[in-house]
Structure 1
Amino acid sequence: MRIMSRASACLLLGLMAWETCAAAGLSALRDITDQRGGLDDRRFAALVDRVYADLKASGADGVGREPSASFEAAYLALFYSPKSAHLEDLQRAFAGLESQGAPTDAQIENLHVSLVRMRRFDAADALAARHPEAGLEPLPGRSPVTELPPGQRLAWRVEAGTDSQRLQAVGLPAPSDGILVSSHPHCGPSQRAAEAIAADPQLAALFARHATLLVHQAGRFAAAEEGAWRPGGVTLPLNWVHREADWPEVDSWATPVFYFLRDGQVVATVSGWSKEGQREALLAAADQAGLIPE
């Protein structure tokens, strides 16, 4: 029987104790997506946290003792569940690798991506300076983060300057009535959705008035000109969220997903973009949210 078959039965069917799952070792964490099933992002992150905690407690495959195994486990946990505790584990393991003089370029890049994802920009810059041999892509300059007004949520926008790009901190109000769109500049369906919406006068007007584009807590930023939507002559910029946890309305950071809100509550969700588009589904959801004028 394959290791992940044991882990799958344990995690999803409750046929074994969690401690037995941990005994499956690092491979259970490597293949954790096999266990996702219908779990949304938050429930799946909780599953990852539990498997990772059990793996650390069991010490299987050297996790918690050997820097390389500990680094891989922490990186996987952070990839699926962006929590500061996982990043701290990752940094400790990397310090162990550095003390051995042994970090690979891939490990250096994985730590850099993780630091950016957790918005530890200064630490990412310091890592790049410490390991120039890895050829890490430098981060854009960035604005200072000032205290936001109550109720606003921190996000980042990539803005083009005269000869460089810049990360600009912005405060976004907590959504009330409107549309939150989980998108990404390198997602083909997201770009097809943007083009179809811009070409449809009714949808273009709807999104120009009500849509806010969000990008998950990503470890890389795309160029300023990538990914913006332009419905109805209005440019909707991408907002790279500072923390996914700041957006409880979004239960899946797949792309594209459209969340329609009324009085701050999600009343309808439209997921994906088929070849035929989602026009009728979007209009029905907008009507349910009270966004279509009578």
Structure 2
Amino acid sequence: MSHSGGGDALYCVCIVISFKSLFKSGPPISFTCSKGEQADLNKILNYIYQISKQEHKKLSSYIEKSITKSTLSTTNVLVHNNAKPYQELYKSCIQNRINIKELSEQDLHKAFRLLKTIAFNTNDRLHASYMQKLLDEKLRRGGRNNYYINEMHKIYVKNRQFSRARELENLYKSGIEKDLPAIKTANIAGRSFMQIKSKAIVQKPFLFPKGGYVIVITSPFCGPSRRYTDWLKTKPNLFKLFSKHSSWLIPVEGEFNTRKVLSTNSENFPIEMKYAYKKNEWPEIGYWGTPTLYFYKDGMLKRQLVGWPPEGQEKLLLQNLKAIDLL
């Protein structure tokens, strides 16, 4: 996860953002890899760069046009699908095209890093499995491999493949930077979140209450998220409203950073940050940049508010709260 600092940033975003919007976004990137040829790693890295450049440009255009028109949180809802171009890139240019054992050290490193980017954006266990094969080859050759082990560990955590992450911890104890805390998952049908309880992270079900409710996508490391919370604490009535009628979710990431989350929760009590378990449990949430607020009425999404600039977006926030009868 790449976060903005306090600065004048409006929002914090993941490494790569891709989305559909009401604005024209140009043609999708065409991946021209001939059938049967070996993977061209430099070409693949260039495609990844093109995806990143194109989608960040779309995001900036979306935010600028939406704020200018004051429609960001009404009918014009930002939706991203950052898995799709990476799924297509993997199928078109990587799958069954890399002879791992014949890769040079430089190309093995390059292949691992590009698979890491793909796996990060897709949360696809197939891509994590391929990344593991590259790690296995790196370990077979010996040398300093802590970077590779830790990046693999983060992908398993992000995919919620906790047993695989534990296997890495048990095999390479001294090489793991951040061991998983105790985790208690459950067989939950529907939405869920993960909450710090005592010394464990516990998965719990989520149900929307009747009436208005807000889901706040947030992060303790995001400057604009902190700016929004700091502003909210200067508005006692709104802070009380959010304490009762909202849930604050940290996007699915490769680390839990429990110490930082606990300290932030202590500062903002009774508002409590929890962890989203899996993004696909929230199909209507189309954008996970922080902060983003989703406004619901009887469990149905009605409005969206993206980002919190230095001057705030109080007018739009109040409009959205009124739209779901919380004001």
Fold match by TM threshold 0.5: yes
Task: Give SS of 1:19's match.
Answer: coil
**How far off its partner does 1:113 sit?**
0.9
Provide the C-alpha distance between the structure 1 equivalents of 2:147 and 2:121, rounded to a whole number of angstroms: 18
Deviates more, 1:251-260 or 1:277-286: 277-286
* Structure 1 consecutive aligned stretches of length 4 or more whose deviation exceeds 4 Å: 20-23, 62-65
Provide the C-alpha distance between the structure 1 equivalents of 2:79 and 2:94, rounded to a whole number of angstroms: 22
**How far off its partner does 1:205 sit?**
2.6
**How far off its partner does 1:119 sit?**
1.6
Instruction: Tell me, yes or no, if structure 1 residue 50 matches structure 2 residue 88.
Output: yes
In structure 2, the partner of 1:226 is 263
**How far off its partner does 1:215 sit?**
1.0
Task: Give SS of 2:58's match.
Answer: coil
Instruction: Tell me, yes or no, if structure 1 residue 215 matches structure 2 residue 235.
Output: no
**How far off its partner does 1:154 sit?**
2.7
Instruction: Tell me, yes or no, if structure 1 residue 25 matches structure 2 residue 44.
Output: yes
- Cα distance change on mapping 1:227 and 1:64 into 2, 3 Å: farther
| Alignment RMSD | 2.9
User: Is the contact made by 1:182 and 1:256 (CA closer than 8 Å) also made in structure 2?
Assistant: yes
**How far off its partner does 1:118 sit?**
1.3
**How far off its partner does 1:198 sit?**
2.2
- Cα distance change on mapping 1:17 and 1:117 into 2, 3 Å: closer
Provide the C-alpha distance between the structure 1 equivalents of 2:139 and 2:157, rounded to a whole number of angstroms: 20
Provide the C-alpha distance between the structure 2 equivalents of 1:131 and 1:185, rounded to a whole number of angstroms: 29
Provide the C-alpha distance between the structure 2 equivalents of 1:156 and 1:178, rounded to a whole number of angstroms: 19
Provide the C-alpha distance between the structure 1 equivalents of 2:203 and 2:96, rounded to a whole number of angstroms: 41
Structure 2: 5+ residue stretches without partners: 1-24, 60-77
In structure 1, the partner of 2:278 is 243
Amino acid at match of 2:290: T
Structure 1: 5+ residue stretches without partners: 1-10
Instruction: Tell me, yes or no, if structure 1 residue 170 matches structure 2 residue 204.
Output: yes
Instruction: Tell me, yes or no, if structure 1 residue 34 matches structure 2 residue 53.
Output: yes
**How far off its partner does 1:26 sit?**
2.5
Highest RCO, 1 vs 2 (Cα 8 Å, sep ≥ 6): 2
User: Is the contact made by 1:181 and 1:257 (CA closer than 8 Å) also made in structure 2?
Assistant: yes
- Cα distance change on mapping 1:65 and 1:158 into 2, 3 Å: farther
User: Is the contact made by 2:224 and 2:308 (CA closer than 8 Å) also made in structure 1?
Assistant: yes
**How far off its partner does 1:34 sit?**
0.7
In structure 2, the partner of 1:7 is none
- Cα distance change on mapping 1:117 and 1:185 into 2, 3 Å: same
Instruction: Tell me, yes or no, if structure 1 residue 131 matches structure 2 residue 172.
Output: yes
Provide the C-alpha distance between the structure 2 equivalents of 1:239 and 1:138, rounded to a whole number of angstroms: 19
Provide the C-alpha distance between the structure 2 equivalents of 1:192 and 1:33, rounded to a whole number of angstroms: 27
Task: Give SS of 1:157's match.
Answer: strand
- Cα distance change on mapping 1:255 and 1:48 into 2, 3 Å: same
Task: Give SS of 1:270's match.
Answer: strand
Provide the C-alpha distance between the structure 2 equivalents of 1:26 and 1:174, rounded to a whole number of angstroms: 42
Normalization by structure 1: what TM-score?
0.80
Normalization by structure 2: what TM-score?
0.73
Provide the C-alpha distance between the structure 1 equivalents of 2:242 and 2:177, rounded to a whole number of angstroms: 37
Instruction: Tell me, yes or no, if structure 1 residue 79 matches structure 2 residue 125.
Output: no
User: Is the contact made by 1:183 and 1:255 (CA closer than 8 Å) also made in structure 2?
Assistant: yes
User: Is the contact made by 2:193 and 2:204 (CA closer than 8 Å) also made in structure 1?
Assistant: yes
**How far off its partner does 1:92 sit?**
2.1
Deviates more, 1:238-247 or 1:122-131: 122-131
User: Is the contact made by 1:184 and 1:227 (CA closer than 8 Å) also made in structure 2?
Assistant: no
Query: What does the per-residue CA deviation read over 1:49-76, in whole Å, with 9 as the maximum and x for residues that have no partner?
Result: 212322214848x789745444222211
Amino acid at match of 1:156: M
- Cα distance change on mapping 1:103 and 1:117 into 2, 3 Å: farther
Count of aligned pairs between the two proteins? 271
Amino acid at match of 1:274: P
In structure 2, the partner of 1:4 is none
Query: What does the per-residue CA deviation read over 1:219-241, in whole Å, with 9 as the maximum and x for residues that have no partner?
Result: 1112242333877xx51222211
In structure 1, the partner of 2:157 is 116
Amino acid at match of 2:92: D
Identity over aligned residues, as a percent? 21
